[in-house]
Amino acid sequence: MNLTIEVPEEYDICEETEYGNVAPELPFIFDHRRETGKKNKIEEKIVYLDLDETLVHCPRLSIWMKIFNYYNDMSIKENEEKLKDNIKIFLQMGGLRPGVKELFQTLNELLIMKKIDRIGIFTSASNRNNYVNYVKRCIEDLCEIPENTISFVITREFSTYYSRDGATIKDLYECYKLFYSIETSTELYENYGIKDAVILDDKPYNVAQFACGEYDKNIIGINQYKKDIPFLEFIKNIKLEWCDKNKIINLLKDGKVRNDEPLSKERTIVATILNDEVIYPYNFDYIDDGDMYKKIEIIKNRFMS
Ligand SMILES: [Mg+2]
């Protein structure tokens, strides 16, 4: 695909990306000395799951969601469902990591057996355009687990600390802040504990408790999952009735949008897609290393024993 294109300004339907706060000079270090040795703390068995590159790889999905949001009134329920269907197709084409269905089925069983209390997504991604909420709902559908088995979602919007790579620092106490109204961090460390919380993340070093020593078993690293799903294949597979799908496919095959031709919805969409591919050239050959299956065993053993 020829990606040397110039995108006229009027084609640009996407806002500039905000990247949250500037990363601090030094990575955040969790001060575990603030924890008290108090017994009878509330110790919930929480399973936090990172989203991007752990459960899914959706590099092209956010631009598609922006396009869809731009052209469709999302206050209409039917449009929400159509977007959800598109996201599901994206995930079925490889956006969803192999083993994720087995992971959620295992976690759901652990929930039913009361071996764990909560499962949630803990991500550095922003929930703008409801990205995380939609992906969560699609994961629940595709993994055939009851709605809201994933009972909480912590996104970039909740975060206070950022690492040098721009990701958020994830604190294993975060769930308590979300579910209990806790006034001070002293109250938090006095009354709540995290020895029974685990997180599965491809960037374990961005967990606040990483390298504390005593929480090594709580932080489970996993190899990064990356999978390229080219837009041409994606568009071919989805249902589109609010624009001319064939026009989009032909323009994508050309790989360019000339500046001298009149604006149309399809040309604008393709220019937006191609522009995004120039800025973020994703091209991954992924070999499934089965790492998720190993991690399922670790989580299972952790809570069954
Ligand atoms: Mg990640």
Give residue 23's pLDDT band: very low, low, confident or very high (50, 70, 90): very low
Distance 53 CA to ligand 1 centre (A): 5
Give residue 297's pLDDT band: very low, low, confident or very high (50, 70, 90): very high
Q: List % helix, strand, coil for the chain (3-state, nearest 5).
A: 45, 10, 45
Average model confidence (pLDDT) across the chain: 86
265-279 vs 245-254: helix crossing angle, rounded to 10: 40
Phi and psi angles of residue 63, each rounded to the nearest 5 degrees, phi first: -70, -35
Q: Which residues contact 195 (CB under 8 A, 6 or more apart)?
A: 43, 215, 218
Distance 218 CA to ligand 1 centre (A): 16
Write down the pLDDT at residue 30: 64
Q: From the centroid of its chain, how far is CA 57?
A: 8
Q: What pTM was estimated for this model as a whole? A: 0.86
Write down the pLDDT at residue 260: 67
- How far apart are alpha carbons 166 and 125 in whole angstroms? 10
Distance 112 CA to ligand 1 centre (A): 27
* The two structure tokens encoding residue 24: 């601090």
Q: Determine the 3-state secondary structure of 196 from DSSP.
A: coil
- How far apart are alpha carbons 301 and 304 in whole angstroms? 5
Distance 269 CA to ligand 1 centre (A): 28
pLDDT digits (tens, 9 = 90+) for 217-248: 999 999 999 988 889 999 999 999 999 999 99
Distance 71 CA to ligand 1 centre (A): 29
Distance 177 CA to ligand 1 centre (A): 22
Distance 245 CA to ligand 1 centre (A): 32
Instruction: Kindly list the domain boundaries of the chain, sorted by start residue.
Output: 39-57+97-227+288-305
- How far is the CA of 225 from the CAs of 51, 77, 94, 303, in angstroms? 10, 32, 10, 25
- Residues near ion ligand 1 (Cβ under 5 Å): 50, 52-54, 202
Give residue 8's pLDDT band: very low, low, confident or very high (50, 70, 90): very low
Question: Nearest-CA neighbor of 159 among 146, 173, 139, 180?
Answer: 173
Q: Which residues contact 179 (CB under 8 A, 6 or more apart)?
A: 152
- How far apart are alpha carbons 234 and 231 in whole angstroms? 5
Distance 206 CA to ligand 1 centre (A): 10
* The two structure tokens encoding residue 49: 């799951």
Does the domain at 39-57+97-227+288-305 match CATH 3.40.50.1000? Answer given as: yes
Distance 85 CA to ligand 1 centre (A): 24
CB contact at 8 A, 267 and 7: no
Distance 203 CA to ligand 1 centre (A): 6
Q: Evaluate if residue 50 carries a pLDDT over 90.
A: yes
Q: Evaluate if residue 20 carries a pLDDT over 70.
A: no
